[in-house]
Amino acid sequence: MKQETMRCNIVAQRITLQEYLIEKYEEITKDIEEWTGDDEKIKTLDRKTVDEMIDQWLEGFKLT
């Protein structure tokens, strides 16, 4: 029973995260297109920048 409860909880958390990111779709798409639309800029994209972008997109997200 406990394993089923954990699985349900994880699924619910995943759905909550997906819904949160769907609400931010336009912002996320705009940020990505700023990088992918510029061949020279994309060459400078690194892990630190991507991590910062993801942190910004997830800012304010809280699991209940």
* Mean pLDDT of the chain, nearest integer: 89
pLDDT score, position 18: 96
pLDDT score, position 50: 95
Q: Within a 13 Å sphere around the CA of 5, how many CA atoms are in the beta-carbon half? A: 2
The encoded tokens of residue 10 equal 């994880």
Q: Using the structure block, give the residue that is written with the tokens 């400078």.
A: 44
pLDDT score, position 62: 87
pLDDT score, position 47: 96
Domain map (residue ranges) of the chain: 2-58
pLDDT score, position 5: 59
pLDDT one-digit tens code per residue, 12-32: 899 999 999 999 999 999 999
In terms of DSSP H, where are the helices of the chain? 2-23, 25-36, 39-42, 47-58
